[in-house]
Amino acid sequence: MAGRPRLARKRVSLPGVAELLRPAIRDVAAPDGRQASGREAHPQKITVYLSSDELLDLERARITLRARGISVDRGRLVREAIAVLLADMDAGVDSSLLARRLREPAPNGTPRHAPAAPL
């Protein structure tokens, strides 16, 4: 087949057998019963946009955990973080870390959240 360019082969990284056959179990629940969903099918989906610095921080956290024997993907890490923040909020909205951070102005001086609409 002279004259036809050869297709470049792209090497794809696939999970190992142990990862594929790992049971889909939930982790131990937080004291209030809230837990992240773990490794299972997720019928609901959201899209989250991150800055390059936020994505780099997320990757650093994932690699730090992996260095300590805790292998997780970014989705699992985000689900766990959400579960922890919501459990903290369930314990007391006004004193929760999430509410305190949202009350603070962003580094550029703008509010981190939109004012609540009247009901």
105: three-class secondary structure by DSSP: strand
The yes-or-no verdict on residue 1 having pLDDT over 60 is no
Cα–Cα distance between 90 and 56 in angstroms, integer? 29
Q: What is the DSSP string of 59-94?
A: HHHHHHHHHTT----HHHHHHHHHHHHHHHHHH-TT
* Span 21-46, pLDDT tens digits: 555 444 444 455 566 666 667 788 88
pTM over 0.75: no
pLDDT of residue 21: 57
37: three-class secondary structure by DSSP: coil
What is the residue-averaged pLDDT of the chain? 76
Burial, 107: exposed, middle or buried (Cβ in 10 Å; 0-12, 13-18, 19+)?
exposed
pLDDT of residue 25: 46
Query: Amino acid letter at 55?
Result: L
Burial, 93: exposed, middle or buried (Cβ in 10 Å; 0-12, 13-18, 19+)?
exposed
pLDDT of residue 62: 94
Which residues are within 8 A (CB) of 82 and not within 5 positions of it... i.e. 6 or more apart? 36
> Average pLDDT in the 10-21 region?
62
The yes-or-no verdict on residue 18 having pLDDT over 80 is no
